[in-house]
Structure 1
C-alpha cells in the first residue's frame, strides 16, 4: 500500500469509502497493494469479515482486483478515475485524438421551432420519422431492423446493455487492442475484461472461442473501422465468427458500428448472422458531429425490452429536439455528399500514411476508419521522439490488454504530403531508439 495513505473506517462501507477516496484523490494509485485482510482488520480494530466485505464491494465496483497470492490491488483503470488522454502540448500537430476532419462535418441546424410539450415523452420516446430512417439505415447493410430503439451514444447504449444483462464479476470478451473508453467502461461496471486477439480482419475466431469457453457472457466488437487497428470483418471472417457464437447461444453480442458512414469498408456484420442475442449500435458522431449524442440501435426483442426498460427508469428518452436535428441531417442531400467526400478523403489519407511508412519498411495497418496502428518496440521512445519533431501521437498502452506495443496515429486530418514528412521523422526516431536501446 502507498505509505502516504492510511485506510480508515470501522464498518465495511466506511472502509470501502476510505479506499475509494484514496483512489479518487491520488493517495492510492493503480497497482498499489491494499493491506491483507487480517492486517488491516487488526489495525482498524474490526473483524476480518468486515474488511473482507469492504474488499468484495470494491471488487464488484471495479476499484480493486485480486491477484491470488499477489493480494488485492487498485485496478489499473479504477472506476472513479477513468483514463483521460494527455493534453496536447501547444504547437504540436494532434494526431492522437481519433477525431474526424471538421471540413467534412455539416453545420448543425436544429429545427427553428419545437412546440412546447405537455408532460413527458416516455409514452412515445421515438419520433416516427427518425425511427423509419433508422430502420432503413440498418436494412441497407443487411441488419434486421424489426426492433430498433435510440440511445445517447455508443457507450451509453453499451453500458445499459451490459448492466442489464450481466452481474458484477461476470466476464466480457473485448477486442485486444480495442477501444480505450470501452476498456475503461467494462471494469467500472464491476465486470471482467477478457481479451480477444484482433488481426486485419477483426476478432480471431479461435481466440473468441477460448474467451467464450472461459465463461464470457457478452462480446463487444466493431465490424469495421475497428479502433485502434482499422480492422474490418470480411465475409469469410464474419461467417466464422457467427459459427463460433452459435455454439454459445446465451451470449449477448454487441457490435459498435460507429464508422458506418465513413469507415471505407463493406458491412459484413454479426448482427446479420441470425444470432439469438445481439445488438448493433450506430452513432453519428464521426460523420455528423460530436454534439449529436444520439445512437440508433437494432437488436433482438429481449435485448430491446431490457434496454428500453432501464432507459424508461432513468433518462426516459433522447431529446426530441436532438432527434429532429438528426432526422433533418439524414434527409439533406448536401449532407450526404459531404459525408461521402469525407469517406473518400479518409481512405486516401490512411493509404498515403501506410504507404509512406512502408517506404521506410515500417509496418502499419489501417484498412478502414480514421486510424493507423504501428507496432513498435518502445511506445514511450516513439511518442517522445515524434514530439520533438512536432507530432503528437497516442501511445498504444491505452488500447491494449495483452497485445504487443504500438502507437496509434489518427490520419483523418493528415494530408498526403504531410504523411511523407511524418514517415521520415518516424524512421529517424526508430533509428535513434535502436541506437539507444541496442535494437
Structure 2
C-alpha cells in the first residue's frame, strides 16, 4: 500500500478495502491485515474516517508526485499563503549580513536576534522565558512534542485546526483529542475534557486561527490558564503565527504551567521561505528543543538569523508590514461583508482565511472550482467538527473580486440558503 501511495496508484482520499475482505482476497489472516493497517495509521499514511471507512490521508510522509495542478483560469484561494506583493524586499537586509555569520563556532541562536525577540515578546505581555529559534513554527512544535511525548500519547488539538498540525500529530504516532473552537478560541470545557482524557500536551492558536479566524480573548485566556493550572505537568504550546500582522492584542495562554512553549514564525509578514520561528518557553522545555535540534538539523542558519535581524531593524520594512496588516484586514472583512449580504454564514475575525460552513464539502469545492475558484475542503482541518470550506483572501485585492467570489459561494450553497 505504501508503494501504491508513493507511485501514485493510490491517491489522497482513495478508499481502502475493509480488513476482513482484503484478508480474504489475499489469503491472509485477518489479524495480519489489521496489523498492517494499524502500522500505516501510526505512520500517518492512512486514516479511519468513520462510516467512510479507511482512506489514504490527504497528506502522507512519503515522497509522492505533489499536488495536482489547477485547471487553467482557476484562481487559487486554497493555499493559505501571504500575498507576495505585500512581502518586504530582502535586498537591504541581505546586504547587512556580516561575512562572519557562518561557521560552526557561531552555531546556535544569534544573541542580537534573541535579545530583540525577547523585547518584542515582552512588549506583547508574554511571560519571561528562554529564547531560541526553530526552522519554522511546525518544526518548533515537532521538537517540543517529540521531546515530551511518546508514540501512542495524546495531544489536545483544536477542532478544526491547522491542517499541517493535524498531519504532524498523526505522523508522530500521537493521538489527537479534539477541542471545540468558537470565536474566542478553544473552549475551556473542551480543553478540560481533553486533559481529563489524558492529553499530555495541548496546542492552541493565539490569533488568526486557521481556518476559522478565531482569536483568544482576555477572558478566554484567563479561563484556559485556569484549566491548565489544574494540570501543571502538561506541555502547553501556543502558536502566534499571525504575530506582527495582528490588529488585536495578544492574550497569552502560556506561562502558568511547568512546561510551556510560545512560537511565532516570520512566514506570514516576511515570507514563507524564511524558515525561522522565535521560540520562547520554560527553560526546561527550551533546553529539550535545542537538544533535539542539535541531534538533527543542528541549528537555524546563522545567515538567516542575521537576515531576519536586518528586517526587524529596518524602519522601511516596518512600514511594509503595516501596509500588509491593513490590506489583509480589508480583504478578509470585505469578503465576509459580501458573503453576509448574500445570506452566507461565515467566520474570519482575524488572519488570511474565511471559514464557511457547508453541508457537503465535496459538492461546494467542485461547484466553486467549476466557477473558477479553488478553495480548501475543511476535511483537511477537521477532526470531528462540522463540514466547511476555507477561502484564503491573499489574492482578493480588488473589491469586485471579493464580490464575485461571494456570488459563487452563494450559488454553490443555494439549496441550503433557500432552506433557511
Task: Give TM-score scaled by structure 1 length.
Answer: 0.85
2:165 alignment counterpart: 182
Give distance in 1, aligned partners of 2:257 and 2:308.
Answer: 29
Give distance in 2, aligned partners of 1:76 and 1:104.
Answer: 30
Give distance in 2, aligned partners of 1:92 and 1:399.
Answer: 22
Report the 3-state secondary structure (helix = DSSP H, G, I; strand = E; otherwise coil) of the residue aligned with 1:279.
Answer: strand
1:340 alignment counterpart: 322
Kindly tell me: are residues 82 and 351 of structure 1, through their superposed partners in 2, closer, same or farther at Cα, counting changes over 3 Å? farther
Maintained 8 Å contact 2:241/2:266: yes
Report the 3-state secondary structure (helix = DSSP H, G, I; strand = E; otherwise coil) of the residue aligned with 2:16.
Answer: coil
1:363 alignment counterpart: 345
Maintained 8 Å contact 2:97/2:307: no
1:115 alignment counterpart: 99
2:182 matched to 1:214?
no
Give distance in 2, aligned partners of 1:52 and 1:234.
Answer: 45
1:149 alignment counterpart: 132
2:186 alignment counterpart: 203
- Find the partner of 1:410 among 392, 396, 412: 392
Maintained 8 Å contact 1:111/1:324: no
Maintained 8 Å contact 2:15/2:53: no
Report the 3-state secondary structure (helix = DSSP H, G, I; strand = E; otherwise coil) of the residue aligned with 2:249.
Answer: coil
- Find the partner of 1:396 among 359, 375, 378: 378
Give distance in 2, aligned partners of 1:421 and 1:401.
Answer: 31
Report the 3-state secondary structure (helix = DSSP H, G, I; strand = E; otherwise coil) of the residue aligned with 2:300.
Answer: coil
Unaligned runs of 5+ in 2: none
How many residues align structurally? 415
CA offset at residue 247 of structure 1? 1.3
Task: Encode CA deviations 1:59-99: one digit per residue, 9 max, x unaligned.
Answer: 5434456899x999866755437996553332122221112
Report the 3-state secondary structure (helix = DSSP H, G, I; strand = E; otherwise coil) of the residue aligned with 1:261.
Answer: helix
Give distance in 2, aligned partners of 1:288 and 1:73.
Answer: 37
1:292 alignment counterpart: 274
- Find the partner of 1:61 among 32, 35, 43: 43
1:14 alignment counterpart: none
Instruction: Choose 54-63 or 87-96, whichever is displaced more.
Output: 54-63
1:7 alignment counterpart: none
RMSD (Å), alpha carbons: 3.2
Give distance in 1, aligned partners of 2:411 and 2:307.
Answer: 47
Report the 3-state secondary structure (helix = DSSP H, G, I; strand = E; otherwise coil) of the residue aligned with 2:247.
Answer: coil
CA offset at residue 282 of structure 1? 0.6
1:11-160 equivalences under 5 Å are: 19-26=1-8, 31-33=15-17, 35=19, 43=27, 58=40, 60-63=42-45, 78-80=60-62, 86-109=68-91, 110-111=94-95, 114-115=98-99, 120-121=104-105, 124-160=107-143
Unaligned runs of 5+ in 1: 1-18
Maintained 8 Å contact 1:36/1:71: no
Larger Rg: 1
Maintained 8 Å contact 1:284/1:295: yes
2:249 alignment counterpart: 266
1:242 alignment counterpart: 225
Maintained 8 Å contact 1:371/1:408: yes
Task: Encode CA deviations 1:394-426: one digit per residue, 9 max, x unaligned.
Answer: 221211111111111112331333222222232
Task: Encode CA deviations 1:135-190: one digit per residue, 9 max, x unaligned.
Answer: 11211111124301000001111111111111111111111111111111111111
Kindly tell me: are residues 315 and 337 of structure 1, through their superposed partners in 2, closer, same or farther at Cα, counting changes over 3 Å? same
1:379 alignment counterpart: 361
CA offset at residue 338 of structure 1? 1.0
Report the 3-state secondary structure (helix = DSSP H, G, I; strand = E; otherwise coil) of the residue aligned with 1:231.
Answer: coil
Kindly tell me: are residues 357 and 291 of structure 1, through their superposed partners in 2, closer, same or farther at Cα, counting changes over 3 Å? same
Maintained 8 Å contact 1:77/1:83: no
Give distance in 2, aligned partners of 1:434 and 1:207.
Answer: 30
CA offset at residue 333 of structure 1? 0.4
